[in-house]
Amino acid sequence: NAGVMQNPRHLVRRRGQEARLRCSPMKGHSHVYWYRQLPEEGLKFMVYLQKENIIDESGMPKERFSAEFPKEGPSILRIQQVVRGDSAAYFCASSWVGVTEAFFGQGTRLTVV
């Protein structure tokens, strides 16, 4: 699972700034999932993307959060106007088409000060 690369590993933002989290899936993977782990809580699904398509965003907060997975380049999770409650670890995972196994990245730890 070392093939799923997330950057940055740690990100500090002031309240009101934008946070951009990147996830490069394993080679050949066309499905990306984003998860959030709040302090002292378990992982929660946020969004599931295929190349150029959002398949399921039922776990995404309605405002300030967006995700994309362009044809070229990494998947991006964007959080606008961050607030302290956005502080969490954000993980992405990737998989092949139609395969149930997913590989996880190391996560990005976002701290909002």
What is the binding site for other proteins (CB under 8 A)?
Answer: 1, 33, 35, 41-45, 48, 55-56, 58-59, 91, 93, 100-107, 109
Task: Closer to other proteins by CB, 12 or 18: give it.
Answer: 12
The rounded distance, in Å, linking the Cα atoms of 80 and 97 is 30
What's the token pair of residue 39?
């302090």
Using an 8 Å Cβ cutoff, are 82 and 108 in contact?
A: no
Q: How far is the CB of 16 from other proteins (least distance, A)?
A: 27
CA dist., res. 94 & res. 8, Å (int) = 17
Nearer to other proteins, 80 or 99 (CB): 99
CB of 81 to other proteins, least distance (A): 27
Instruction: Specify whether the CB–CB gap between 111 and 11 falls below 8 A.
Output: yes
For other proteins, the closer CB: 27 or 72: 27
